[in-house]
Amino acid sequence: MADEGTLATTAQVLLAIGQDASTAQILEANTNIWIKQAEALMSADVDYDLVTNYASLNYPQIYALAAASKAAMLGINQDPTVWQLAVTQSKFNVLNNEYENAMKIIRRLTA
């Protein structure tokens, strides 16, 4: 199966989820869904279709960072019991921070 998202890849999401991911979190069909959900949330946030207009976007890795971070949070949320609670919370904190920092830049770029 191939990546179906535009802004991030399955590999980027899996790196963001981190070590010891569950089978459901590793499944590419799931990561594709989470990437598409992340892309929709990002586009809604900035009121701009980031996927359709991807070719005109500068700094694609910023969009990839935001999409992979948000998709990873969605994936972790599906099966948070894979890790101890403190580890899961730490992962969410780091990913949310990365997502929000990237989105600050994306909001400026799309304003």
- Considering the chain, what is the average pLDDT of its residues? 93
**pTM (2 decimals)?**
0.93
Query: Is pLDDT above 80 for 3?
Result: no
Position 111 scores a pLDDT of 87
Position 11 scores a pLDDT of 93
pLDDT tens-digit readout, 79-94: 888 899 999 999 999 9
In 10 A of CB 89, how many CB atoms?
A: 12
DSSP assignment, residue 58? S
Query: Is pLDDT above 80 for 107?
Result: yes
